[in-house]
Amino acid sequence: MGILLNESIQQITEQLQNWRRDFHHFAESGWFEFRTATIVADELHRLGYSLKMGKEVIKAEARMGLPSEQALQEQEQRAIKQGALVEWLPHFSGGFTGIVATLDTGKPGSTLAFRVDMDALDLNEDQTHIHRPYAEGFSSCNAHMMHACGHDGHTAIGLGLAHILKKHQSQLTGKIKLIFQPAEEGTRGAKSMVEAGVVDDVDFFIAIHLGLSVPQGELVCGCDNFLATTKIDVTYRGVSAHSGAKPEEGKNALLAAAQAALGLHAIPRHSEGSSRINVGVLQAGIGRNVIPDYALMKIETRGKTNEINEFIYHQTLSIIEGAAKMQSVEYEIKLMGAAQSSLPSPVWVDFIYQQTQKNTPELSSVVKSLQQPAGSEDATYFMERVKANGGQATYLIFGTELSAGHHNERFDFDENVMKTAVKTLATIALHLPDFETT
């Protein structure tokens, strides 16, 4: 099995790079993945996968951080100009840019799901010759959109895995789902797919990521350091007035936001685990002689557990309300993103650890857990739903050399990690019957 698998992966190695570089060049940020989704859908359809797309796999009211309707329309037109396959676009129009591809082997067995994300960041890519994507002609052509976290590689891995699984279908059992998720950045997209029921029939679940400070060639079988998070936008609305002639007639939204920002950063940390609060954006005011009637704050909370995050979040709500009362202004809170904490399933992690140690010599080392903090990830929604339904779930990290840290304008990775990831995931799928019979 190993020799044939290696030969199959060698045959798609160049294509993995081509896919990755194409997605990198035409980077699309969250809910704008129109071109990417059409290319993914077309490839999966040609391979013979059963597809569900758009509103079939995304619950509209559960989407978070959704751009304006005008922005969605503009970006859809941009995608058409950049080569989106128009026959697939109706499925994704309006920002419903998710895909679930199912391979039914026709043989009894469990349902195994793999999740990859497709979106870029709202970031301008470095355009100098010291940055390899620019020097080799595949840096992003879209302003304020860049694959600076490796999701272009994740999407390519998902397509590569689809090819390998289809080729080796006779050796598989049960059903395999490939979930291509939009809007992971800002933890905005997974919840809407979970609420659409895409993993309600899943027995085993795996999400993946490249990098995350894991050394080159190392595999982490069960990342357990993701923090729960809530991301909100807060708008304060007051009354403008002349700051010299009639300041008493004004209601100062800027002061409310400033007082809230100071109060938020004074929230006590939690004794039972890591807790975070950050005001990342504060915008207010139009002139030095005008009482500001509008202020915008962008805030996130995080916690080691869902309970710790909820503690910080409820403190946040109280401070936002109190600051509004102090200045007699109105306020509005909009949920922009969220993720949970989630621990991998130990028995599932053990199985992956054993199989990868035996069957993937390309990996220099295999470890069960991650030591350093890993931020937040909305794949935790998938993990928690699968576990709640009696299934098992985990999150794999494939170590690779990076040219710069994640979310940096010079981010890039060693593309060889993609074929290692495809082989690892295919190996897990091919050996799943061994796990089911233990």
First to last CA, the chain: 20
Rg of the Cα atoms in the chain = 23
- The pLDDT value recorded for residue 3 is 75
- The pLDDT value recorded for residue 1 is 61
The mean pLDDT of 84-107, rounded to a whole number, is 98
The mean pLDDT of 400-405, rounded to a whole number, is 97
Residue 372 has pLDDT above 90, yes or no: no
Residue 5 has pLDDT above 80, yes or no: yes
- The pLDDT value recorded for residue 284 is 98
Backbone angles phi, psi at 132, to 5 degrees: -55, -45
Euclidean distance between CA atoms 195 and 58, whole angstroms = 8
Q: pLDDT tens digit string along 217-268?
A: 999 999 988 999 999 999 999 999 999 999 999 999 999 999 999 999 999 9
- Going by C-beta distance under 8 Å and a sequence separation of 6 or more, which residues neighbour residue 342? 226, 380, 383, 384, 387, 393, 395
Q: Give 60's pLDDT tier (boundaries 50, 70, 90).
A: very high
pTM for the predicted model, two decimal places: 0.95
Nearest to 422 by CA among 165, 167, 172, 215: 165
Q: What SS3 state is found at 241?
A: coil
Residue 22 has pLDDT above 70, yes or no: yes
Q: Is 265 annotated as contributing to ligand binding? A: no
Q: Is 407 annotated as contributing to ligand binding? A: yes
What is the crossing angle of helices 2-25 and 416-430, to 10°?
130
Nearest to 343 by CA among 369, 367, 365, 366: 369
Q: Is 431 annotated as contributing to ligand binding? A: no
Residue 437 has pLDDT above 80, yes or no: no
Q: Is 151 annotated as contributing to ligand binding? A: yes
Average confidence score pLDDT of the chain: 96
- The pLDDT value recorded for residue 373 is 67
In Å, what is the CA distance from 237 to each residue of 111, 246, 280, 291, 296? 50, 18, 19, 11, 9
Residue 438 has pLDDT above 70, yes or no: no
Q: Is 221 annotated as contributing to ligand binding? A: no
The mean pLDDT of 114-123, rounded to a whole number, is 98
Residue 391 has pLDDT above 70, yes or no: yes
The mean pLDDT of 53-81, rounded to a whole number, is 98
The mean pLDDT of 10-35, rounded to a whole number, is 98
Domains observed in the chain:
1-226+340-436 (3.40.630.10), 228-338 (3.30.70.360)
Q: pLDDT tens digit string along 188-222?
A: 999 999 999 999 999 999 999 999 999 999 999 99
- Going by C-beta distance under 8 Å and a sequence separation of 6 or more, which residues neighbour residue 191? 62, 64, 338, 378, 381
Scanning 50-150, the segments in alpha helix (DSSP H) are 69-81, 89-92, 132-135
Euclidean distance between CA atoms 302 and 339, whole angstroms = 9
> Which amino acid, one-letter code, is at 344?
P
Residue 434 has pLDDT above 70, yes or no: yes
